[in-house]
Structure 1
Amino acid sequence: MQEINLSRVDLNLFVVFDAIYREGNLTRAAERLYLSQPAVSHALARLRERFDDPLFERAGKGMSPTPLAKAIIERVRIALQELESTLGEGLAFDPAEANRVFTLAARDVMEFTALPPLMVHLQRQAPNIQLRSLRVPRRDIMQQLSSGQIDFAADVLLPVPEEVEHQPLGRELLAVAMRHDHSLASTILDLEAYISATHVLVSSRHDGPGVEDFALNRCGKSRKVALRCQNYYAALQVVKDTDLLLTLPQSYARQMKANGGISIAPLPLELPPVDIHLYWHRKASRDPALVWLKQQMLESLTGVMN
């Protein structure tokens, strides 16, 4: 290996090296870094020349690290993290004066239940910041936290890589919503009445059962679904004018009941509560603004689903 004069090394090359190692694919590494694929290929060529080693070799449709790449990856990552930490030291964040934009990945139920109290809190503390709430497919959340496309995510308990941290916000139960003058509204909703009724199913997936259907299947039961749609607000408008039942998160149901037009009942199935967590990349701990926002979210959202 050549003797390295650090003043002549482009440290961005090691950012590219880390991205290729994580993704195992030049195209995905380019997307992660917001670079063109030729730019990533050029950076890899410079690294190969510097180390006199291929570093990554073709393996099917991906790239497999060489023994040298495997030997140096942890030291490279530690060095990059230390550099980020050094650059972040001394940065000040004044919420009252900040004009920063933050991004949160959240599904529609979390938007409905969490954004109102969160924005009341943020407007008092930091009136000039902007918060963007996006729907991100669950399979992409960890990658987008790592790449910085999103700052935080609020979702069910998910498998996470080592560099993503999380903390529980609360636990969500399911309930059943129906028209306020539905024939079942004045009775105790039992399992037989539940499966005898016709239902609305809310899902972002094209097909497949809901969590309540899995529970029904376990006890040898099934239900009839007349409508499958993508969000609970639309589903509730249908429920208000029909005999259909809707199974939905309890916190959402309670807030919509306050607006009138529906009754809610406990779900007559034994299902454990769904844990909701806030996720962030560990590099957020080196950004005073993200540290501050994380604390505001935890203070204003913890328990909001209970």
Structure 2
Amino acid sequence: MIAFDKLDLNLIRVFDAVMEERSVLRASQRLHLSPSAVSHALGRLREGLGEEIFVRTGQGMTPTHYAYQISEPLRSALRSIGETLAGAAGPFNPGSIDRSFVIAANDYLSATLLPQLNRQLRSAAPGIDLVITPVTRLDLAEQIDLGRIDVALGMFRSVPERLRSRPILLQEEVLVCRGDHPLGSAQATLADLARYPLAVVSLGGTDANSDYILERGLARQTDMYDRGALENALAQAGLTLRRQVVLPHFLALPLLLEDSELLAIMPRPLARTFARTMGLMIKELPYPVAHQQLEMVWHGNNENDPSQRWLQEQVACAAKALDVHDV
């Protein structure tokens, strides 16, 4: 067993990277080392510990039971060392840092929340770059686990214990159509929803069993509208939709609504943006809809990181500025 006073902390960093990446190649890229250097470091650590820590399989580097036992305590120790050194360097100053933050968001939030967030960062932290990645990606939870996504924004049914979450706003849905739609200034009715075709956004299409994407314990909502409320209201009135257009994103809606009789369901903040910039008309839905809660999710490993806490506060402030029913 290797003595602590002879332990090379770089070996622990390599172990932690391979534990997360499950790949010598990806770990080497993350650590800016050669694959052979990573393999050599793992060999030194294995010899020092006197235990096998990884086994090569068809799925990559599979941790042993012993590796699982030591991984979280070692990761906590590395995190504590980093926090200690960061604290010794003085209080966090966003105006003096030069780094990138990666945010997972859909196109709706990219068009509404991110402009406000960018304005905040532009004045408070001009050295910070924003990288936006789709929250719809199938490996979202894995990317959060690997530290490649700082925060994810969306609607989540469940969040695993290793992740943290914070509600940032409650959104409500509205009906949108072109400015000269045949409905005119009249309030929309359920009969109108049966008379005119309807456009909605859903990552799962029309499959009733695809309401959520579940990956590594993180369940994300696929429907960007309250499908159940719409279907129940029409059923109770003995009506059916004339025609439905289901899209995987929001930003195609204005061009679809142009020169058509389509109606569309979307969040009120985005509807306001489209009404202001593209002349669309907003109408209230003719049935009751529950407000949907949007959350911000991040990894528990970042809980005490001053830069991460600062980013989370900036995102929450930007969400509040959307002038919706905030939490």
Alignment TM-score, normalising by the size of structure 2: 0.75
Q: Which residue of 1 aligns with 2:253?
A: 235
Q: Which residue of 1 aligns with 2:293?
A: 275
Residues of 2 paired with 1:173 and 1:36: CA distance?
A: 51
CA contact (8 A) 1:169 1:303 kept: no
CA contact (8 A) 1:30 1:36 kept: no
SS at match of 1:232: coil
Residues of 1 paired with 2:179 and 2:304: CA distance?
A: 51
Residues of 2 paired with 1:71 and 1:130: CA distance?
A: 37
2:279 corresponds to 1:261: yes
- Equivalence map 1:130-209=2 (5 Å): 130-157=129-156, 159-204=158-203, 208=207
Residues of 1 paired with 2:65 and 2:18: CA distance?
A: 15
Q: Given the alignment, which residue of 71, 74, 77 partners 1:73?
A: 71
Q: Alpha carbons of 1:224 and 1:66: their partners in 2 closer, same or farther (altered >3 Å)?
A: same
Residues of 2 paired with 1:21 and 1:131: CA distance?
A: 27
List alignment gaps of at least 5 residues for structure 1. none
SS at match of 1:117: helix
CA contact (8 A) 2:188 2:284 kept: yes
RMSD of aligned C-alpha atoms? 3.4
Q: CA deviation at 1:109?
A: 0.9
Deviations along 1:63-90, whole A, 9 cap, x unmatched? 6654433443343233222222223222
Q: Alpha carbons of 1:272 and 1:32: their partners in 2 closer, same or farther (altered >3 Å)?
A: farther
Deviations along 1:223-272, whole A, 9 cap, x unmatched? 35464444323211221321011111111112222335322222334432
Q: Which residue of 1 aligns with 2:213?
A: none
Identity percentage of aligned residues: 31
Residue identity opposite 1:52 in structure 2: G
Q: CA deviation at 1:14?
A: 2.8
Residues of 1 paired with 2:197 and 2:24: CA distance?
A: 46
Residues of 2 paired with 1:61 and 1:97: CA distance?
A: 42
Q: CA deviation at 1:280?
A: 2.6
Residues of 2 paired with 1:20 and 1:189: CA distance?
A: 57
Residues of 2 paired with 1:28 and 1:207: CA distance?
A: 40
Q: Given the alignment, which residue of 241, 244, 262 partners 1:244?
A: 262
Deviations along 1:77-132, whole A, 9 cap, x unmatched? 33222222223222344334444332222111111111222223223323443323
Residue-pair matches, total:
303
Q: Alpha carbons of 1:28 and 1:194: their partners in 2 closer, same or farther (altered >3 Å)?
A: farther
CA contact (8 A) 1:178 1:185 kept: no
Residue identity opposite 1:11 in structure 2: L
Q: CA deviation at 1:169?
A: 1.0
Q: Given the alignment, which residue of 307, 316, 323 partners 1:289?
A: 307
Say which is worse superposed, 154-163 or 165-174, in terms of deviation.
154-163
List alignment gaps of at least 5 residues for structure 2. 209-222
Say which is worse superposed, 132-141 or 249-258, in terms of deviation.
132-141
SS at match of 2:266: strand
Q: CA deviation at 1:198?
A: 0.9
Alignment TM-score, normalising by the size of structure 1: 0.80
SS at match of 1:248: strand
Residues of 2 paired with 1:138 and 1:65: CA distance?
A: 26
CA contact (8 A) 1:240 1:261 kept: no
